[in-house]
Structure 1
């Protein structure tokens, strides 16, 4: 066993107080069982079984690395803030995103990369983009729904989210990319990120690597075109130009590989997670008439009072969508788009009376607090009122759909704007119903309805009356 886990295992760890648990099989660890449970929407149960057996701090081996899973508010606070815990992704994720992606960076390099896109993602940067986003959403939905009485909602929401990311964050014109091809490449790459990283012909991981190579080629060509424009004095206000122009303290810019890795990462983070939340919201509205009608009344009222007369939303309208956002927040509590994520011990450290050796992965899990009845009463019950301003009572580091602390998701406000804008245009113009009752969720690795959420659609006349 020692030969598979590096050196003399017993001598290395005899003096350390490691958490209880099971490292599983050599090399594979418990990855196959975890990934199977995750795909079948049972990862929370997989975690709970180990908590019941070993407690809220336990060891395992996932994605090719020894891992310590930490559960609970104090564990979340520790992982998101402690200097001994740094960014890290499993080897498969790193190969898909690229070794220079922001999740792998620490210190000064992380700050430089983050600074290159934060200006566009903060509320002040987003305000001016809301009307443009509203126009894109409206035209895309009309194009997708026109002349149809039924559609598959998952691919539509993926295309919409990807188009918004390309247009607003990257400044990519419609003629510069093939929408359907890019959605497929990203779907293949994302599915490969959370698999056993075996690079054999026919495997999901091999398909993901090929897709990632094509995505990289697209961004390489995009960078070349942008450099030429910038050399001619034309500088756009988008992430691509910002990354090309950013400099560190010594005046050095980012390399092409650094830029491409982080454009890929930003596109992953900004479009697929948002598409998931939109799908979960559409599904909930189809299943719960009271929720649908309450959202509809809120959005119709906003539409009647909208600033201007062109039908485009502004920042002011988004701030009035209070009930709609409580529904979205509750759905992200019950089914967060990201189940959990990996970090890494940068040095020997401790938590909860146990040692965490340098180099080990640590894994935070959203369900550990989101579905904890001591934190959220009746956690399996859908109850948006938990998130009303007057009733919020849950402690910090318990609700973490976007992470928490200094490493929380920088795109959470962009996602909020996109989700609310899309719901407004959908619910005020269409009604829909599920064609597959009780359609299960499958995680590959994000949670989507297994059959793509086929829905019947009907156009609403006089939608704001």
Structure 2
């Protein structure tokens, strides 16, 4: 019996050893980039998600950049990944949509959208349709004609409400503000219909779960995300049922257009529409609110920037014939320093931990081969905090953008992605921030109460929150 058991154990050890060897040495027709695949199954996920109390490049990335260079391999949440901090390669990859790479999401994100990862990498036709319909409701023309006015009215009301509170936790408050506005444009969401339930606050810090191991275990970030997802999905499903039951109650919003198009576009199934609406909510409110919170934190710490902002916006107010008129598109475009502040905040924020693509063919780069099927992760923080591009990269210095040429930003500023898949809501995000700053610095003053420590987990967050007190200016 001992000899039998010894034989079995020997076979198991050999099989396990071979399995570990194959895990650490994946098949490749050429030479893989340097790096480690970590432990079987979990890879280097644990090291990747360790919190970092700094706005700097995450230690996981920074350490491996020094060890292996700008391109290295790893394994995250069960996927074989090549991580890139090479601006030239990233720019090339963004131009190769549909040729060498395709849009890709981690399995956690796909599960939160209740779809397989491959089913949400839209075809060219679907992507073009979605881009057009989003621009129709959030693009430049709509911003000019009606959204800027709505934004100013909404933000004014929120800031008045903040000024009546003894303590405002900025990330929570901005998340609720942006969520409510975006949801109103998407499906005429009315918060007062849901007493005692602030869906904007419910979805705070959702990105944390997107970068987690997709294990539905109580206490995990992914489990919390799934619970919030169910509430969001139910809300959208109920709204679709209501629209079908009462078609005469046309709202003229994004959902109305989608449901009208469902009659002619076969890909617009109920499941697809619900997932798409849910994804749009996440893409808008979470990223904008995190960036806006960081902007307020940076302004709080840099009074010289606040002073120049005030001067720019007060000059706008002084030049108006009608002092009570709202911010116009022409005024918005003339806010040079405000745009510098927004760009600098976006550069430092790097809200998205990584921009993902999947290789649909073997890709040759600098003597290395990225095999077909592997995920490529472009890390915005590694690009936008590169000291070779940005002097003193961790400093909040909006003035640096005065002399920043387009040739530099094209490859070294990817706050809204790149290529054909660049963020459709980029202008909306910048307008919202500009309108907020316009009202905030001209009509209010604020003081920090506590918190504000930046934490990357690897998403941008604020460890103990960021609490301020807001008050209206006199006169």
Tell me the TM-score normalized by structure 1.
0.90
1:369–1:199 distance in 2 versus 1, CA, 3 Å: same
How far the C-alpha of 1:429 sits from its partner, in A, is 1.6
Q: Give matches, 1:1-40, under 5 Å.
A: 13=27, 15-37=29-51
How far the C-alpha of 1:127 sits from its partner, in A, is 1.1
How far the C-alpha of 1:256 sits from its partner, in A, is 1.0
Residue in 2 aligned with 1:166? 183
Structure 2 spans left out of the alignment, 5+ residues: 1-15
The separation in 2 between residues aligned to 1:11 and 1:26, in whole angstroms, is 11
How far the C-alpha of 1:178 sits from its partner, in A, is 5.3
Q: Give matches, 1:323-334, under 5 Å.
A: 323-334=337-348
1:44–1:461 distance in 2 versus 1, CA, 3 Å: same
- Report whether the alignment pairs 1:127 with 2:105: no
RMSD: 2.7
Residue in 2 aligned with 1:79? 93
Moved more, 188-197 or 213-222: 188-197
Partners of 1:349 and 1:356 within 8 A in 2: yes
The separation in 2 between residues aligned to 1:446 and 1:307, in whole angstroms, is 44
Q: Give matches, 1:16-415, under 5 Å.
A: 16-37=30-51, 43-82=57-96, 83-99=99-115, 104-128=121-145, 129-146=147-164, 148-177=165-194, 180-187=197-204, 189-229=206-246, 231-232=247-248, 235-246=250-261, 251-252=265-266, 254-306=268-320, 308-388=322-402, 394-415=408-429
Q: 2:468 aligns with which of 447, 455, 461?
A: 455
1:236–1:14 distance in 2 versus 1, CA, 3 Å: closer
Q: Secondary structure at the match of 1:222?
A: helix
1:314–1:212 distance in 2 versus 1, CA, 3 Å: same
How far the C-alpha of 1:61 sits from its partner, in A, is 0.3
How far the C-alpha of 1:235 sits from its partner, in A, is 4.0
How far the C-alpha of 1:45 sits from its partner, in A, is 2.9
Moved more, 168-177 or 321-330: 168-177
Q: Between Structure 1 and Structure 2, how many residues are aligned?
A: 456
Q: Secondary structure at the match of 2:125?
A: helix
Partners of 1:64 and 1:90 within 8 A in 2: no
Q: Secondary structure at the match of 1:396?
A: helix
1:224–1:211 distance in 2 versus 1, CA, 3 Å: same
How far the C-alpha of 1:175 sits from its partner, in A, is 3.4
